[in-house]
Structure 1
Amino acid sequence: MRFRSNMNVVAAGAASFLLALPALAQTTGTLSGQVVDASSQAPVGDAVVIAQSPALQGEQTAVTDTTGSFEITLLPSGTYTLTVQREGFQPFTQQGLQLRLDRTIKVRLPLVPEALKEQAIEIVAQRPSIAVTTTQQGGSVSKEQMNLIPYGRNARTFDAVATSIPGVQPDANGGIAINGSGGPEQNYIIDGVNVSDPAFGTLGTTLIQDFVQEVDIKTGGYQAEYGRATGGIINVVTKSGSNEFHGSVFVNWSPFEATRKQIGALGQAVSSQIKQNYNLDFGAELGGPIIKDKLWFFAGIAPQFVSRNIDRVISTQTANPAGQAVLDSAGNPALTEIARKTYTSTQTSYNLSGKLTYLLNENHSVALAAYGNPTNNTGDYVDSRGFFVSPAVGNEGAFLYNHELGSIDSSLRYSGKLFNKTMLVEATAAYHRQRDNDVPVALDGVSASAVADTPSVSIRGITNILNPLIANDPLTPDYQKSSAVVAACAIQPNGFNPCPVTNYFIGGNGFLGTRTLDRIGGVLKLSNFVELAGHHQFKYGVDASRDTFNQTKTYSGGAALRLLTSGTIQYFRAYGHSDPSRPGQAAVDPADPNRFQDAVVSNITHNTSVAFFVQDTWNVLDRVVLDIGVRGEKQLMYADSKTLDANGNPVQGAGINLTNIMPRIGLIYDFTGRGLSKVYGSYGRFYEYIPLDLADRSLSAEQQIDMRKDPNNCTNPADLRTCAIIPNAFGAGRTFSFTGGAASTPVDPNLQGQYTDEYLGGVQYQVYRDITIGVDYTHK
């Protein structure tokens, strides 16, 4: 159920000639075109063109040149009215021009001479729908579409909207996939802020659709202005205020989910089933003027709640007389359920959005925006990419702990027109902050601190669910030790195992991390328009950013252990060092008394990137467009001086230093000359922007210590850490294996970036009104 205030929408007029062009900025669009004499079709110079819109502060004007051409730039997306005035002609008004984000509408506006007031002049409407001056592929989704269509299955966020564009689908690794490129290969932008996860490259900030004005998705063929992606660009603009107060309250509720068939691991005694309880969000938004035509505001808040039931099911197999599992009709071991417990996983997000827009004068404006999505997951652990830890992997400590995540972003943007509107200036300063924290919780009478102090143990190979190590684990749920389970799962006299589990986890949570990610960025873009054998739009600029990944990581109980099939205990994951100033837990190594087992490692790594671009869009005779440009990106990835090596000194070693050059070129031909057709081809090179997880793992001299222990010789059999160390486990004189040291992983000085070469081509033809047929080809 949703309640909203009504908004006025002006119907599109008939006397216009519309073309889609590349826009001047990521957060605006452009109105351009030509004013002509309606009787002779001759261009009309010195005509005043006035643009008005509920989305626009005040009005924007332009004066036509001797060819009748005009250009009104840096306009927010919305519905526009153009009014044309010229001495000797009747005024003309064109309504209902829908301007999209990062697009240009080109209109042909006829003026009727005053001398022909009494004569009828027929104006033929032509409304092309083909973007005849760009090779860019993709599409835009407006707020009106989002209000009408329920995009998103699990959450009504803007990334779900993008999947309505051909070639775009959800990516299992987080974010979205575009034309074969995965979630980490896209560039996610909100109000000019890069909100990609600095550590993994996936989507770092989500935002509910109710606070979004428009989502623009570029799936390929985009200009040199755009980079840091080998896939596509997802560009979002949030809502702004207006000259009238407007607001809404809304509720969206998905109360249940039908049961679906779920298939677990074959032959395993423990399986899981996930079913959504409900998906609920509600909120309010308000926007309007503080000073009409001068200062606008927008504010919105919307909590979201997603609740899921996760059933953990214990089943048993039946043996035939030969001691083999009875098979079902599909040839798999037949299972009979004997116990079940339902766990609840709840995700709570608080969507926030606010914006101030100030118009200094017709040529200068600034906008301050802030938004975010602080989120908490409780119950079954869900990572930052939406993956559940299956309850089938082990006892409750393996999958029950909380997760804090979400982001807060802000941006300050300036747009200006200089030198009699012949130069455009766009500048943005932005900040992105993201958290990603694992939080242990109390389980079955075991305190959160005790859970965090319990090592995770993986029992390798196949065992029975009644294995004493499993049954005696304090974090084994009671229903798993019930009389029904004990009776059904006992090893049979012929040796048959009716309740097998493989690589089963007992003990604590395992890996635990506290992560803070920051990005500071700035962008400066300039544009000039030149008449030289046609119309040229020269655009050039620079942008820079510095990402920081600050992670403190440990393993519950100080180590992740494995009980190997050989019967020994492996310290599979345990951080170590050789710094006497922070001894941690001593690892008694006769060969080196200064080697310690440490429970915590803290790393700080950085990614510094500077990019430039130059591009020219050359329109020749309104039939041929040549789009050519080049982009360069410099990326430097390194460890911070506060990141210590195994000896307690600042880590040494080369960082990753990449210089990437990306040419882009496109050619378009309109064989009708009226915007009703397009034959196009393009080539572009796109380099990957490497996220910081690589630096955290490989450039920080991450140190780990490994040893073997005897499970039959322990001072406390319930705590495998107290078991005796097996000497010479790694060869004569090598009781310990110590990896990591004073330097990071070596970096090849000739290392080059990973890139994708993209070739596009196609032909499109508008056969009738909004009906277009075409064939588009993409090769990467």
Structure 2
Amino acid sequence: MKASHSKFRRAALCIALGACLSATTPAVLAQSATGAVTGRAEAGARVTITNPETGFTRGVTAGADGRYRLPLLPPGQYTLQAEGGQPVGVTVTLGNATTVNLAGDGTTELATVQVVGSRIVNAVDVTSTESATNITAQEIARMPVERNVSSVAVLAPGVAQGSAGFGGISFGGSSVAENAFYLNGLNVTDFYNRVGFSEAPFDFYNEFQVKTGGYSVEFGRTTGGVVNALAKSGSNEFHYGAKLVWGPSDWEASRRDSYLDGERYLTRSKDTTDATRLNAWASGPIIRDRLFFFAMYEGRKVEPESTNNVGTSFNRGESDDGFWGTTLDWQITENNLLNLMAFSNDNRTDTTTYAYDFDTDTVGDALSDRYSETGGTNWALTWSSYLTNSLSMKVMHGSMERNSITGSPNDADCNYVSAGSGVPDPGVPLGCTNNLSIYDRNDERKQTRADFEWSLGDHLLRFGYDREVNTSDLSQGYSGPGGVSYLVSTTTPGAQIPDAGTVPPGYTEYVRARRYEIFGEFESNNQALYIEDSWSITPNFLLNLGLRYEEFDNKDAEGNTYIEMDDMIAPRVGFSWDLRGDGTTKLFGNAGRYYLPVANVINIKQGGALLDERTFYGFDGWEISERDGVQYATPILGPQFGFSNDQGDGTVGDLRAEVDADMDPVYQDELILGFQQALNETWSWGARGIYRRLENAIDDINITATHCGRVGSSWVMANPGEELTIWGDTDCDGTADGYLTIDTSQAGYWTEADNYEFIDGEWTYVGSTPTGQRGWVKPKRDYKALELQLDRAWDGKWAFNASYTLSWSEGNAEGPVNTDTNFGDTGRTENFDDPFVNYRGDGPLANDHRHQIKLRGSYAFNDNWRAGATVDARSGGPITAMGVGNPYNWKSYHSYYICVENCTRDQAFPNPEEGDTWSTADRVFEHSPRGDAGRMPWIVDIGLSLAYERSFGAADFSAKLAVYNLLNNQKPVWVYQDLEPGVGDRDPYFGKERFLQGPRYGQLTLALEF
């Protein structure tokens, strides 16, 4: 630990020296929750910016070359004035710099900016090398955008909704577990699994910036995209109001059930949600021109209803917890501002499960109850200070909390029972509880960061420090006696079950009885230093040079470091060329590296006292029991044929043998070249070419052999295809005594062809498999895209935006999660469990949507009526016909091979009298390439809204009716991709739909503001 801190101090010293040596600066991005105004004026002139709504005033003196810069400005509407000149309105937007050049007589050179109404906004931000889309709450109000942050992010080019059951959004071909989300500078990203984030109700937000590439070294810990949001704030005028958002279940089209050969296998048609939300808010001055507040409370009543997949049970839930949120802005002096943002999104849902008859639509007796709790309290305190005319500082400290709790009154008495498709239906509900786990987890992030900005002539120097302490406090175990859950699945006699054994003769179903327990407090620390020099080489050419240094430290349940990665240097270089010198046309580009931290779920499952016992039995039918007058079924256990606890035996263990001692981080390199042009005051267009390459992965791999021979089973967190350093037996005496190094691209996994020899003083692998492959392949993911965009800014009458993205996402690794197998346990995918899982597994990846078309716009018919529309269309993802096992290995993980002959003993010898000399070596496999089974259909989602606005004296009334998925398309976004669930078995559900687009639904919003 001391060595790590020493390295960090040395890195800090190097960056500090870099800051001293880079003593010269211009204009570029503002820090995360602010904006900036920059430009030229008469040399020595005093340039003043004022927010009339808050009284905030800030002035700077233009340099000898006429340059001026006003950084760290809260987004909003300002007036800008050079001494002796006329004031002009300026819009400051989140994360952007608005360029306004002031002539010698104090007037504004309007050729360099865009004027909408009486205000100046960016036509083309020639000071930025990022790829970002800014969207305000006012713009969203004009369109039918679903009221959540993910739907806002999807408006940006190259961003798509995740298609698997664990949700999320994908930026530029990356998986859904690689993004970062910020609110008022606070990182609210879920650090447990990295798929979600802490979210407030829609009316708490004021503006969003969606960064899809090339972002500043200020941002890190992501290989996907960034959503940067800003909460609302108060002003010198008191305002208050209320908003009702009503989405009745009657306005929701019926969800479509799924059938196979006339038999229903997925029941959705009874799934509905009735939602009513009413918020009241107020804002204004506590002390005029000094202290302001915004406060909001939202009461919520959400009532979801659903059935299980086969339609034999009915779930009815209710959630009525409220939300509160507030911001306080204190303008202490002209040079010092303090902002507090806080909100609580605690929410509890209580659900009762009833017996149900789908055919008669009859809800019977209550079977069980369960509850879930989510959310927590989040806050950030930010101090912004203008230290000198050219040096400014921002310091933020905050906390994010996310609870995840599930339980049931039946937890002590009832085991959880589930069954796969094709298992005989007992005619009564499975088990007496619908709650799998007694689960209680609290995730808390404490974040501190300091950002500085220093203007030095032609250089703008930005540098800072960022530290996060992420703690997960977890207690988890399965419900019921013994803490065991039962899963019944179909199979064939003689089939190989992963980590189990061979299915006994005569059994076409088997039972997996699983006991799973874990508890403890798990911490990870992430810290970074960054420095960035934006150098105006000429008045029209900006060069952006950035460097970010990062460290990740993950700890086990005993508080000891077990994954530590440091010396991560992320260089980023960008340029922006104002081709005409008038701010209307720019050529820009950037190249950079981005690192991804290890999710806390790895701390828990690799560094915790995890007990994971899986016992396998033949299935001898259903036992029907009764509880509280209600019948239910549990499986009758036949002969035991397998047992495994290699995923966790209940102890923390010696993690030196389970984690690479010299692990390399996950990182992605990115290259972007783009062009943007303002055609006139309202129209602009742009094009962007993108190349992204994922260079590494961290995953659990099954090391079964070292130079001492086969070692059984040891699951190690490592870099597949790279050298692995673990604690082991170095002298082959049967005792672990030191670190040994295995080149996992060459060795580490047992096969019958393994062969080691002692050559030149070290054990060397000299054998090979029949494929010539002697170890793990390296992970690969390449994303290539061309984006085209056309934009017309809102001028009070209409606005329009269109984008088209042509892209390819290819390789053998989607990222930390697997969409194609619907596996969302971040960092523990099946992709690299053994060397043959991914053998010949290159092809189009799950987030490969070759074509994306996005349209959005709004039109005002008159002062009272307006309409909005959105279109989101994307081509379907690839389908892979997955098998299990392969010609070279006995393990039965997902694979890119299908067994076509002699797959089981019964298939090889259908007539036993002919003899029985079958073995697994007799199986004949064929290659089944990734994505070779076709594509899912195009997904087209059209939204339409109609709004009415009218003022009644001091009151403003508005009503908006929005319809989402207007055409009620319910195309599959994910299909079953296991062609062969067991060796020699064919799944009749392969290629059949599992997850669909949500149905058409309507929503009415009524608002009254004073």
CA distance in 2, matches of 1:294, 1:33: 28
Is it true that 1:127 corresponds to 2:113 in the alignment?
yes
Is it true that 1:285 corresponds to 2:281 in the alignment?
yes
1:762 shift after superposition: 1.9
Distance 1:716 1:141, change over 3 A: closer
Distance 1:380 1:60, change over 3 A: farther
**Do 1:213 and 1:237's aligned partners in 2 also have CA atoms closer than 8 Å?**
yes
CA distance in 2, matches of 1:399, 1:163: 38
Q: How does 1:230-379 map to 2 (within 5 A)?
A: 230-255=223-248, 256-264=251-259, 271-274=266-269, 275-311=271-307, 343-348=315-320, 350-379=322-351
SS at match of 2:322: strand
Q: State the partner residue of 2:92.
A: 99
Q: How does 1:193-232 map to 2 (within 5 A)?
A: 193-232=186-225
Is it true that 1:611 corresponds to 2:528 in the alignment?
yes
Distance 1:265 1:28, change over 3 A: farther
TM-score by length of 2: 0.57
Q: 466, 471, 478: which one pairs with 1:548?
A: 471
SS at match of 1:310: strand
SS at match of 1:675: coil
CA distance in 2, matches of 1:122, 1:770: 18
Between stretches 518-527 and 452-461, larger displacement belongs to 452-461
**Do 2:530 and 2:546's aligned partners in 1 also have CA atoms closer than 8 Å?**
yes
Q: State the partner residue of 2:393.
A: 425
CA distance in 1, matches of 2:339, 2:285: 14
Is it true that 1:522 corresponds to 2:448 in the alignment?
yes
CA offsets 1:637-669 (integer angstroms, 9 cap, x no match): 111327xxxxxxxxx883343542211001222
1:770 shift after superposition: 2.2
CA distance in 2, matches of 1:365, 1:184: 35
Identity of aligned residues (%): 22
Q: 374, 380, 395: which one pairs with 1:405?
A: 374
CA distance in 1, matches of 2:594, 2:86: 45
CA offsets 1:228-285 (integer angstroms, 9 cap, x no match): 1101111111111111111221112223112343425666555311543433221011
CA distance in 2, matches of 1:21, 1:760: 21
**Do 1:717 and 1:723's aligned partners in 2 also have CA atoms closer than 8 Å?**
no
**Do 2:181 and 2:188's aligned partners in 1 also have CA atoms closer than 8 Å?**
yes
**Do 1:455 and 1:561's aligned partners in 2 also have CA atoms closer than 8 Å?**
yes
CA distance in 2, matches of 1:73, 1:122: 20
CA offsets 1:667-703 (integer angstroms, 9 cap, x no match): 2222211111111221111111221011111121412
Q: State the partner residue of 1:777.
A: 689
**Do 1:666 and 1:682's aligned partners in 2 also have CA atoms closer than 8 Å?**
yes
CA distance in 2, matches of 1:137, 1:463: 50
CA distance in 1, matches of 2:152, 2:623: 58
Q: How does 1:73-92 map to 2 (within 5 A)?
A: 73-86=71-84, 91-92=85-86
1:765 shift after superposition: 2.5
Q: 528, 537, 542: which one pairs with 1:620?
A: 537
**Do 1:92 and 1:110's aligned partners in 2 also have CA atoms closer than 8 Å?**
no
**Do 2:414 and 2:432's aligned partners in 1 also have CA atoms closer than 8 Å?**
no
1:457 shift after superposition: 3.0
**Do 1:158 and 1:212's aligned partners in 2 also have CA atoms closer than 8 Å?**
no
Q: How does 1:570-649 map to 2 (within 5 A)?
A: 572-575=513-516, 600-641=517-558
CA distance in 1, matches of 2:647, 2:373: 34
CA distance in 1, matches of 2:365, 2:465: 51
CA offsets 1:183-239 (integer angstroms, 9 cap, x no match): 321111111111111201122211122111111111101111110110111111111
In structure 2, give the amino acid aligned to 1:127: V
Q: State the partner residue of 1:392.
A: none
CA distance in 2, matches of 1:215, 1:134: 17
Q: State the partner residue of 1:63.
A: 61
Is it true that 1:454 corresponds to 2:422 in the alignment?
no
In structure 2, give the amino acid aligned to 1:655: I
CA offsets 1:11-55 (integer angstroms, 9 cap, x no match): xxxxxxxxx9633311111112222xxxxxxxx233222211145
SS at match of 1:82: strand
CA distance in 2, matches of 1:736, 1:624: 59
SS at match of 2:464: strand
Is it true that 1:669 corresponds to 2:629 in the alignment?
no
**Do 1:706 and 1:737's aligned partners in 2 also have CA atoms closer than 8 Å?**
no
**Do 2:102 and 2:108's aligned partners in 1 also have CA atoms closer than 8 Å?**
no
Q: State the partner residue of 1:166.
A: 157
1:341 shift after superposition: 6.8
Distance 1:123 1:198, change over 3 A: closer
**Do 2:534 and 2:543's aligned partners in 1 also have CA atoms closer than 8 Å?**
yes
Distance 1:563 1:106, change over 3 A: closer
CA distance in 2, matches of 1:350, 1:689: 33
Distance 1:530 1:344, change over 3 A: same
Q: 586, 594, 600: which one pairs with 1:692?
A: 600
Distance 1:313 1:135, change over 3 A: closer
CA distance in 2, matches of 1:56, 1:707: 67
**Do 1:669 and 1:678's aligned partners in 2 also have CA atoms closer than 8 Å?**
yes
Q: 399, 412, 424: which one pairs with 1:464?
A: 424
CA offsets 1:550-605 (integer angstroms, 9 cap, x no match): 11111111111345775798563214xxxxxxxxxxxxxxxxxxxxxxxx531221
Q: State the partner residue of 1:511.
A: 437
CA distance in 1, matches of 2:661, 2:309: 53
**Do 2:511 and 2:619's aligned partners in 1 also have CA atoms closer than 8 Å?**
no
CA distance in 2, matches of 1:510, 1:122: 66
Distance 1:698 1:277, change over 3 A: closer
Q: State the partner residue of 1:585.
A: none
Which is greater in Rg?
A: 1
Q: State the partner residue of 1:416.
A: 385
Q: How does 1:649-668 map to 2 (within 5 A)?
A: 654-668=562-576
CA offsets 1:696-726 (integer angstroms, 9 cap, x no match): 1112141233456798899998899999997
Distance 1:399 1:70, change over 3 A: farther
Q: 143, 150, 166: which one pairs with 1:149?
A: 143
In structure 2, give the amino acid aligned to 1:519: R
CA distance in 2, matches of 1:430, 1:45: 41
Q: State the partner residue of 2:32.
A: 26
Task: Please list every run of 5 or more consecutive structure 1 residues that lacks an aligned counterpart in the other structure.
Answer: 1-19, 36-43, 114-120, 315-338, 382-394, 441-447, 477-503, 576-599, 643-651
**Do 1:206 and 1:372's aligned partners in 2 also have CA atoms closer than 8 Å?**
no
CA distance in 1, matches of 2:263, 2:301: 33
1:513 shift after superposition: 1.1
SS at match of 2:608: coil
**Do 2:29 and 2:127's aligned partners in 1 also have CA atoms closer than 8 Å?**
no
CA distance in 1, matches of 2:110, 2:383: 40
Distance 1:158 1:372, change over 3 A: farther
